[in-house]
Amino acid sequence: MLCRRILLVFLCVKAAFGAYKLQERYGWNQMDFAFPNPLMKEQARRSGDYIPQNALPVGVEQYKEKLFVTIPRWRDGIPATLAYINMEHSLSGSPELIPYPDWRSNFAGDCANSLTTVYRIKVDECGRLWVLDTGTLGIGNTTTNPCPYAVNVFDLTTNTRIRRYELNPEDTNPNTFIANIAVDIGKDCDDAFAYFSDELGYGLIAYSWEQNKSWRFSSHSYFFPDPLRGDYNIAGLNFQWGEEGIFGMALSPLKSDGYRTLFFSPLASHREFAVSTRILRDETRVEDSYHDFIVMDERGPNSHTTSRVMSNDGIMLFNLIDQNSVGCWHSSMPYLPQYHGIVDRDDVGLVFPADIKIDENRNVWVLSDRMPVFLLADLDYTDVNFRIYTAPLDDLIQNTICDIKSNIFGPANAVGIGYKSQFQRNQKEKTVVPVPPTNYIIRNNQLQQTSSQPGSDIFTKPQYHVGQPISVVPVKPQPQIPAPPPTTTVLVKAQKIPLSDVPKAFIYNQHNGLSYETMSPIDYQDLPYKTYSVGGAASSAKWPGGPTRTLWGGSAGQVDKQSSSS
C-alpha cells in the first residue's frame, strides 16, 4: 500500500524488482516434507525414498486453513504427491508439506488406497476436494503406469476419501496426459461434474458425480496444438513444446439457461475456445457436437497459458508463461487482446506461474515453480525456486482493463492494442445465417410455410438464404475509446462516455456464437467524471473528491513497472 502511494512520485525502487500486487507468502529453495519424526526423515533421505531436489510443486488450492500443494512423481524420492500447509501454524517462510489426507494415502503404486501422481486439484463449493490420480511415475519417455487414471474426491470436513472412480479404458489412449481439472456444480452438490483435459491424447473427459460415470469427447480439432505456436522462450531457455494440446480450463458462472461455459486453450496455441456444459454433460453428444464448440480470438503474441480460473462474477485470470505474469479478462467484454490486462508480472518470482486459484474469500493464489528450468536445465538450489503468492482479486484487477467499473477510458494497460479481431476479419462470412421469409412461420421449432389456403401449412423444409448478405441483428460498432491526451503535463477533463457507447460485448459475442451473462449490466451513468494526465509509461487519474490513482498505460504491450518507478 505504502509502495503504491510512493509510486506516484516515482520513488518506489523496490517495485521494479518484485511482484507489485501479489504478496509472496511462502517460498522454498527446495520442497520439504513433514515426516512423522526427524529420524524417519533422515532414514528416508539415506535410502533415497526422499530426494528433496526432485520435488517440483505444480498445483495449489486453498480450503480454510489448508493450502494444498501437489507434487507429481516425475522423479524418484517424492514422499507425497498431495500435501498441504497449515496456514494457521505456518504464516510464512518455507514450511514443511504435510501429506493429505495422510501418509498412508500417498503410497505410490497402491492403486486402490493411495495417490500416485496428482497435478492440479479443485476444491468445490460443497466442501469437497477433487483430485485426479494419473497413476503414473516419471515424465516423458520415463513414464510408467503402475495404476489407472482415477478420480478421487475427499470430504474436506472429515478429511476422508468419499469417492474413487477409475476412468474407463475408452476415456484415455496411449498418449493420454491429463494435468488439469475443472469442477462444475449445477443446481446442488449432487449435480456435479468434473472435466479433465487430455493434453497429449487430445480429448476432454467428463465425469458425472451423480451417475458415477465418465465419457470422452475425442479428437475435436480444437483440442489440438497450433503448429505455429510450439516455440517457447522462458527463463532464458528456448525450447519447443509443440505437441501440447488442450490444457487450461475455466468455467464461467452459471448462466440463465442453467449451464456454464467452459473456456479452454491448447498449450501450444494462443487461441481460446469455449463450449457449454450443456454439451459436455450430455453423453450422447460425444460424437455429435463439433459445431457446438466455439472459436474465440487469439490472445496476441507470447500468450501461451496452462492455467486459468474464473471468479463467480466472471473475471478470468490466466497465467502467461512466456511473460512471467498473470493476465486477466472480464468476460462481459469481447475476448480480444485489447480487453486483456496484466495483473502482475515479476521476471524473477513469477517465472512459470504454474497454477492460479481464487478462494471463497476472493483471494487469489499463484504458485510459481520455474518448471522449464527444472525439466530442461538445473535449478539453483541456493536460490528461491518455488513461491506461493496471494492477493485479493479486487486489488489485483485494480487499474487494469478488467476493472471495468473504473475503466471509462477503456484499455489502459491492454496487452494488444491495435489487434484486428477475428470477428472484424470474418465479418463478411458471418452474414450467412438462416432467415425465414415472411411467408414462413416457426412452429414446433420448425420453419413452416404459411399459405392463404387453410391446411396447406405443413411444408416444413427450412429455407436458408445462403450466401446473400441479409439483415440480422445489427452489430453495435466497437465504441471509439478516447485515447489519452498526447501531453505529459496538462490535466484535462475527461469526456463522459455515453451509456449507448459502452461495449455491448454480448452482442459481439453472440456473433461469435457465445452469449455472456456473467455480470449484471454495469451502470456507467453513475461513474463520475475524472481527470487524468499521462506521463511516460504511467498515468494517473483523479476522481473529483476521490483519491488519485495510478493507471498503467501509455505504450501498448504490457505493464512496465521499471520505467514508471525509475
Ligand X SMILES: *[C@@H]1O[C@H](CO)[C@@H](O)[C@H](O)[C@H]1NC(C)=O
Instruction: Enumerate binding residues for ligand X (CB under 6 A).
Output: 140-141, 165-166, 212
Cα(345)–Cα(537) distance, integer angstroms: 15
Q: Residue 420, class by beta-carbon neighbours within 10 Å (0-12 exposed, 13-18 middle, 19+ buried)?
A: exposed
User: How far apart are CB 263 and ligand X at their closest, in Å?
Assistant: 29
Nearer to ligand X, 171 or 198 (CB): 171
Task: Copy the grid coordinates of residue 170.
Answer: 475408452
Strands (E), 209-314: 213-218, 231-234, 237-240, 246-251, 261-266, 271-276, 294-298, 308-310
Q: How many residues does the chain have?
A: 566
* Strand, coil or helix: 56: coil
Termini Cα distance of the chain: 18
Query: Min. distance of Cβ 9 from ligand X in angstroms?
Result: 51
- Kindly tell me which of 135 and 484 has the beta carbon lying closer to ligand X: 135
483: exposed, middle or buried (C-beta count within 10 Å: 0-12, 13-18, 19+)?
Answer: exposed
Q: How far is the CB of 57 from ligand X (least distance, A)?
A: 23
CB of 240 to ligand X, least distance (A): 11
The helix (H) or strand (E) run that includes residue 203 is strand 203-208
Q: How far is the CB of 188 from ligand X (least distance, A)?
A: 17
Query: CA geometry: angle at 209 spanning 207 and 210, to 5°?
Result: 125
- For residue 360, the tally of other CB atoms under 10 A from its CB is 11
| Nearest by Cα to 316 from 255, 272, 381 | 272
Give min distance, CB of 140 to ligand X, in A. 6
* Grid coordinates belonging to 178: 491429463
Question: In whole angstroms, how close is the CB of 407 to ligand X at the nearest point?
Answer: 46
Our CB check for ligand X shows the closer of 35 and 207 to be 207
Query: Least separation, in Å, of the C-beta of 526 and ligand X?
Result: 50
Closest to ligand X by CB, 207 or 508: 207
Nearer to ligand X, 141 or 471 (CB): 141
Tell me the closest approach of the beta carbon of residue 491 to ligand X, in angstroms: 58
DSSP assignments along 79-114, one per residue: S-SEEEEETTT--SB-PPBEESS-SGGG-TT-TTT-
One DSSP character per residue, 332-378 reads: TS-S-GGGEEEEEE-TTTTSSEEEEEE-TTSEEEEEE--HHHHHHS-
C-beta of 376: minimal distance to ligand X in Å?
9
Cβ closer to ligand X: 210 or 523? 210
Please state, in angstroms and rounded to a whole number, the distance separating the CA atoms of residues 179 and 84.
Answer: 19
Residue among 62 and 208 whose Cβ is closer to ligand X: 208
Q: Which is nearer to ligand X, 212 or 312 (CB)?
A: 212
The grid coordinates of residue 113 equal 488406497
For residues 58 and 179, is the Cβ–Cβ distance under 8 A? yes
The nearest distance, CB 206 to ligand X, in angstroms, is 15
User: How near is the Cβ of 150 to ligand X at its closest, in Å?
Assistant: 8
Nearer to ligand X, 141 or 256 (CB): 141
Q: Do 373 and 379 meet the contact criterion of CB atoms below 8 Å apart? A: yes
- Cβ contact 257:278 at 8 Å: yes
Q: Based on CB atoms, which residue is closest to ligand X, 196 or 365?
A: 196
Least distance in Å: CB of 259 to ligand X? 24
Residue with Cβ nearer ligand X (35 or 165): 165
Least distance (Å) from ligand X to the CB of residue 166? 4
Taking the least distance from each CB to ligand X, the nearer of 141 and 445 is 141
CA-CA distance, 184 to 203, in Å (whole number)?
Answer: 18
CB nearer to ligand X: give 144 or 439.
144
Alpha helices in 252-357 (DSSP H): 277-280
d(Cα 370, Cα 385) in Å, to the nearest integer? Answer: 7
Distance of CA 226 to the CA centre of its chain: 19
The residue among 53 and 168 lying less far from ligand X, judged by its C-beta, is 168
Is the Cβ–Cβ distance between 151 and 126 less than 8 Å?
no
Q: How far apart are CA 244 and CA 177, in angstroms?
A: 10
Find the DSSP H helices in 398-488: 422-426
Rg (alpha carbons) of the chain, rounded to whole number: 25
For residues 522-544, one letter each, b for 16 or more C-beta atoms within 10 angstroms of the residue's C-beta and e for the rest, the string is eebeebeebebbbeebbbbbebe
